[in-house]
Structure 1
Amino acid sequence: MRSRRFLLSLLATVCLAAGPTVETTTLRIVVKTLKGTPVERASVIVRFNEGRSLRKLGRQVRTNWETRTNSEGVAKIPPIPKGKILVQVIAKGYQTFGQEFEIDEDEKTLEIQLNPPQPQYSVHQ
């Protein structure tokens, strides 16, 4: 009798902990200049919109990822939930890039081109 109760409670706990499954996507971000050369060591931040986050055993894990591009200008993001994301790219000597994307594929590659900085004007010279 006790073993039967124990098994039922264990099964209920496992089912509750699993929770609903979240569809994920693997994201690859390629950062280049306007001339097509890769931008090395650019900071790439990916934020999930609308308060979404990955879930692991019923608790929230992350709402964003931060990484840097490699020598080929590529940043690989681990599996994240499908849906709207905000991608921000910051690199020395370039304008900051920020844009929302709708991700619904299992694997997605985003190609981002960075613009050179705009000239600064000042009345003080």
Structure 2
Amino acid sequence: MLSRRSIWFHLVVILGIVLLSSWPAMGQDKPVNRGRKYKAPPATSHIEIQVTKKSNGKPIQNAAVILNPSKDGKDEGSLEVKTDPDGKAIVDIIPTGSVVRVQIIANGFATFAEDYQIDESNREIQVSMIRPQEQVSSYVDNSGKVSTRKPGVQEPERQTPPASQTTPSTQPAKPAPNQ
């Protein structure tokens, strides 16, 4: 016959085996939380922007195309791409349903800017660039006139007085001899 001690020992061992074998099953009732829940990225649109000269329809290479998307009034960042030799800029990461401000800067052409609502998965945008126009004025009608200013930084012309108009007061003073 078994002693009381060995009965208690066997009972504890059996109870431990039963508890250990049922322990993993107890954790299966609750979902295990391991960090953040995966959230799929938003759907994006494929946008092709074709940049051409308005005068002859030829593509403009290396024009800067700046895209500023915003969705529900929240800024989504900005992106700048250059046009290829065919005058195309292709972007695939703009969220569908957003408003995109497209700005185009090309040497020798007036800057272009316009907002577009992107609701479809594919969008083609045609932009015809024009030469810089004369500044808008409320005094003179400059509509349709070509700009008279050259592109780039404008420096004022400095006028130097002719040599015959110099007076003794404008001539530099001679240094005094050291004694």
State the TM-score bracket (shorter-chain normalisation): 0.7 to 0.9
Q: Detail structure 1 runs of 4+ shifted over 4 Å in the superposition.
A: 1-5
The answer on 1:120 being equivalent to 2:148 is yes
Residue among 116, 128, 149 paired with 1:101? 116
In structure 2, what is the equivalent of residue 27 of structure 1? 47
In structure 2, what is the equivalent of residue 58 of structure 1? none
In structure 2, what is the equivalent of residue 66 of structure 1? 80
For 1:18, what is the secondary structure of its paired residue? Answer: coil
Superposed, which structure 2 residues align to 1:41-56 within 5 Å?
A: 41-49=62-70, 50-53=73-76
In structure 1, what is the equivalent of residue 126 of structure 2? 111
Structure having the higher strand fraction is 1
More deviation, 95-104/44-53: 44-53
Q: What do you get for the CA RMSD once the two structures are aligned?
A: 2.5
- CA deviation digits over 1:47-89, x for unaligned, max 9? 0122243xxxxxxxxx111110000000011221022110000
Number of aligned residue pairs: 111
What is the alpha-carbon distance in structure 2 between the residues aligned to residue 26 and residue 8 of structure 1? 38
* TM-score, structure 2 as length reference: 0.54
Contact 1:26 1:77 in 2 (8 A): yes
Identity within the alignment, %: 24
Which protein is bigger by CA-based radius of gyration? Answer: 2
**Structure 1 alignment gaps of length 5 or more:** 54-62
